[in-house]
Structure 1
Amino acid sequence: MKPFQKKNFPKKFIKFSRMKESKKEKGFSFWKVLIIGVLLRLVLMPVTLHPDILGHSFSAYFFAYEGKINLYDTLAELPQTHPLVKNFGVSDIFIYPPLTYFTLGLFRVIVKPFSDPNFVPFLMENLSQIHYRNDLFLNLFLFKFPYLFFDVGLAFLLAGLFDDLKKKNLAFALWIFNPVTIYATFMIGQLDLLPAFFSVLGIYLFKKEKFSWAAFSVGVAASFKMYPLFLLFPLAFLSNIKFSEKIKNLVFGVAPFIFFIAPFVNSPAFRAQVFSPKSQKMLFMGWPLSGAEVIYPFILGLSILCFSAYYSKKKSDLPVYFASALLLTFSVTHFHPQWFLWVTPFLIWELVENNFKNWFLTFTIFISWLVLTLMFEPSLSYGLFNPLWPDLDKAAGLSDLLGRYTNVFQFKSLVRSLFAGASLFYVVKLLWGGLKTNADN
């Protein structure tokens, strides 16, 4: 492993961030793209609200205002008379690893001087009165504001995966204007951008042949949400020729995850909340072998990906393996709409890298995701604008309207099948191309 030169990384990053128009790229304005993209986010942040952000805010409150380190035991020990227990319940209000709690808490500390300390306690007790708060827009803005830095940073990292200036600019613009990030992060207020950022940082470091640091970054990503643990295996297997080096990189990747959860593993509340059945959705689908045993399609597919990575000679294929593992996850899982953000940077990378050769597959996957998202409850679509129109909370969902004319569950199953079919063909097409190249070499 080459030593990670801390002095060089910021200089290169700053140098890249000062991209200027070249003669070949006169039509591209980096600053215009960035400013328009940020303004779009700033407009949507204060006027969209999903209940998920309340759970994050309630949890962050204990860190920022009460100084609690172990949130899991804190929630479990709350008396039944506490408004959070009485009005919401705490069994699944926070199901993420500790680093997520610390980060959200730190975000709240940063914006603390600008917000009313009684805002969150008021919501715990009087959620039905939320639309009567004059500072609702301000607090929604403050809750989501810290994500902007990770969002813009990810755009730079994604662009940094390319050497060609035209591809850099295109990747940057596609990320800034991709609707998935805007929707999941700056409308819903979900935290999936955090693991996505560190996953892309891992690929950036991998490209620089900082293999152990790349694995470490993906391990940090897994400390926010655990899905990047699946990405560590193809990263480690693609990293070095020597088997011992592959194992070392794998250990580097697991290390930060273990470091952050180790102080809490003895807590029954931690284990019940973080390792609940919700964290094992990819294992819900099983092909029966007997009355007691099954073959898990997810494990089967992931094993094939890992063996393919182990025998691959193309290190440039790492984003393909990341995309493949995530699309496999979605194909066998009843996934939440915001999860699609996990794979979005890698789909953008593939579009740009291959000059939109597979655009129809990507488009099919995206449209399938969009239809499935619209079929969820209204709070995940037009209901997000309830701060502007509170009555949207009572509006009928598209699924309810469609259910008057057809079997809506069958319709959603058809769309999920289309999503899975397009995703798996996408995976096979990209990996088969890589395997053929390896065989030719």
Structure 2
Amino acid sequence: MLTKYKKILVIGILLRVVLMFSTFHPDLQGHSSVTYFFTYEKKLDIYQHLAALPVDHPLVKNLGVGDIFIYPPLSYFTLGIARTVLSPFADPNFTPWIWENLDKVETFPGFHFQIFLLKIPYLFVDVLAAVFLARLFDKESNQKKAFVFWLFNPLTLYSTFMLGQLDLLPTFFVILSIYFAKKKKYSLSLVALGIGGSYKMFPLLFIPVAAFLFSKSIRGRVKNLFIGFVPFVITILPFLGSLAFRQMVLFSPKSQKMLFMNWPVSGAEGIYPFVFILVLLYLLAFYGQNARLLLSYFLSILLLTFSVTHYHPQWFLWITPLLIVDLVKTRKRWVLVTILIGCWLVITLFFEPSLSYGLFYPVFPDLKNVVGLTEILSKYTEVFKLKSIIRSLFAAAAFYYAFDVIRSKVKLKTQ
């Protein structure tokens, strides 16, 4: 496949390389810091190490460690091993230097090459994601569409090669899970979800759906649940006794954002819309038993998550391959996709400039001090009300999308 689409691939890679060299987000400092501890200080328990750093350590003093790395251990080891492999090309002084010079990181000699090295491991996973996404289709024309959509969609470029976030890793394993499900290799599909959840926990939400759809018997479903969650449990088991790990990863505020929305039923109790609708989807899967709905359920769960959550812009990469698959299969929901991406773009622009045009400040230093859209519009309107309207529009489109995609599959089954 790579040979067949060689020109497309080369252009896609060149575009990524340019963005890897020319963009930088401060969160990359956190990733650089923890991989520094792995590669140069040989720390295996990053959570306990961060918690034990003295208050006068430059990382603690200037950057803080409370939410510098809130991901499961497999993320740490994967990024750490990648940095170790690339260490002959990296400058070991880069990370300690940025701890002391947060306001002028771009002045480090060879800065652009150093941030390139931090992002380059994602390039290989990205190409694999494009390949497996294309292989979800049988027709060559659809394979090419999926391949091109993945390589050139702005969400992939933004999250991975501009921000340098690791969301690509769990997203790849979701793609792999769908690929194995298509091949009816259900155990491998579940394992892929478990591994994906060991990088970021959102794929774990898919495991009950897959477990229910892949088997009709209670015993088979329990077995499927076990297969799906085992990879995650194995990777976190050595760290469960660590208070730092539990606070930074399992019970961090960011991992519970979907529970911020609450329908009060008393002064102290309420109903969480996220949990309420998620359980409804699980029950539909439990009683529906239609494996063809797997992707539709995955899509619906993520649409629900983004509808009720103050999500980070890079999270939208999670849903990108699912939207691509749906667009390639049928173009009838392109208006909904346009609304969702348009709302995502506006919401992203409302964040601080470092998450949008400020990413290019290594090339255009004046962008570091540019005024954000929120600050500009706040002079003329109530910005938070405007943002709430946009989120409401997003939620309406998302819920209709989820309803329509499940309804369409059910119709196909009954016809």
TM-score interval w.r.t. the shorter chain?
Answer: over 0.9
Q: Aligned residues, how many?
A: 414
1:83 aligns with 2:77: no
Cα deviation 1:402-424 (Å, max 9, x = unaligned) = 11111111111000000000000
User: In the alignment, is the contact (CA less than 8 A) between 2:292 and 2:409 conserved in 1?
Assistant: no
Q: CA offset at residue 118 of structure 1?
A: 0.8
Q: CA offset at residue 149 of structure 1?
A: 0.7
Letter in 1 for 2:315: W
Q: CA offset at residue 81 of structure 1?
A: 1.6
Paired position in structure 1 for 2:12: 37
1:234 aligns with 2:174: no
1:270 aligns with 2:245: yes
Letter in 2 for 1:224: Y
Q: Return the TM-score normalized by structure 2.
A: 0.98
Cα deviation 1:255-314 (Å, max 9, x = unaligned) = 011101110111111111112122111111111111222111111111121122223343
Q: CA offset at residue 434 of structure 1?
A: 2.2
Letter in 1 for 2:296: V
How far, CA to CA, are the matches of 1:203 and 1:129 in structure 2? 43
Tell me the secondary structure at the aligned position of residue 305 of structure 1: helix
- Pick the aligned partner of 1:286 from 262, 266, 269: 262
Paired position in structure 2 for 1:27: none
Root-mean-square deviation (CA), in Å? 1.2
Letter in 2 for 1:69: L
Paired position in structure 2 for 1:331: 307
Letter in 1 for 2:253: P
Tell me the secondary structure at the aligned position of residue 101 of structure 2: helix
Matches within 5 A, 1:23-422: 30-274=5-249, 275-354=251-330, 356-422=331-397
Paired position in structure 2 for 1:10: none
Letter in 1 for 2:282: C
Cα deviation 1:74-96 (Å, max 9, x = unaligned) = 01111112111111111111111
How far, CA to CA, are the matches of 1:77 and 1:17 in structure 2? 47
Tell me the secondary structure at the aligned position of residue 273 of structure 1: helix
Query: 4+ residue stretches of structure 1 with deviation over 6 A?
Result: none
User: In the alignment, is the contact (CA less than 8 A) between 1:383 and 1:392 conserved in 2?
Assistant: yes
Cα deviation 1:342-387 (Å, max 9, x = unaligned) = 0000000011112x11100111111010110111100011100111
User: In the alignment, is the contact (CA less than 8 A) between 2:39 and 2:81 conserved in 1?
Assistant: yes
Cα deviation 1:58-117 (Å, max 9, x = unaligned) = 011100111100001101111112111111111111111111111111121121111111
How far, CA to CA, are the matches of 2:93 and 2:70 in structure 1? 25
Letter in 1 for 2:85: I
User: In the alignment, is the contact (CA less than 8 A) between 1:96 and 1:225 conserved in 2?
Assistant: yes
How far, CA to CA, are the matches of 1:128 and 1:358 in structure 2? 44
Letter in 2 for 1:93: I
Overall identity of the aligned pairs, in %: 52
Q: CA offset at residue 243 of structure 1?
A: 2.3
Letter in 2 for 1:340: F
The answer for unaligned runs of 5 or more in structure 2 is none
How far, CA to CA, are the matches of 1:126 and 1:75 in structure 2? 20
Tell me the secondary structure at the aligned position of residue 61 of structure 1: helix
User: In the alignment, is the contact (CA less than 8 A) between 1:98 and 1:223 conserved in 2?
Assistant: yes
Letter in 2 for 1:411: L
How far, CA to CA, are the matches of 2:328 and 2:289 in structure 1? 22
User: In the alignment, is the contact (CA less than 8 A) between 1:314 and 1:434 conserved in 2?
Assistant: no
Tell me the secondary structure at the aligned position of residue 146 of structure 1: helix
User: In the alignment, is the contact (CA less than 8 A) between 2:169 and 2:199 conserved in 1?
Assistant: yes
- After alignment, is 286-295 or 379-388 more displaced? 286-295
User: In the alignment, is the contact (CA less than 8 A) between 2:2 and 2:9 conserved in 1?
Assistant: no
Letter in 1 for 2:266: S
Q: CA offset at residue 244 of structure 1?
A: 1.4
Question: For residues 304 and 437 of structure 1, do their structure 2 counterparts lie closer, same or farther at Cα, with a shift above 3 Å needed?
Answer: farther
1:427 aligns with 2:386: no
User: In the alignment, is the contact (CA less than 8 A) between 1:231 and 1:322 conserved in 2?
Assistant: yes
Letter in 2 for 1:321: Y
Letter in 2 for 1:390: P
Q: Return the TM-score normalized by structure 1.
A: 0.92
Cα deviation 1:122-167 (Å, max 9, x = unaligned) = 1112222312212100011101001001111001111111111111
How far, CA to CA, are the matches of 2:201 and 2:397 in structure 1? 25
Tell me the secondary structure at the aligned position of residue 62 of structure 1: helix
Paired position in structure 2 for 1:7: none
Letter in 2 for 1:273: M
Letter in 1 for 2:408: G
Q: CA offset at residue 17 of structure 1?
A: 4.3
Letter in 2 for 1:271: R
Letter in 2 for 1:276: S
How far, CA to CA, are the matches of 1:290 and 1:82 in structure 2? 46
Tell me the secondary structure at the aligned position of residue 304 of structure 1: helix
How far, CA to CA, are the matches of 2:407 and 2:164 in structure 1? 37
How far, CA to CA, are the matches of 1:298 and 1:319 in structure 2? 19
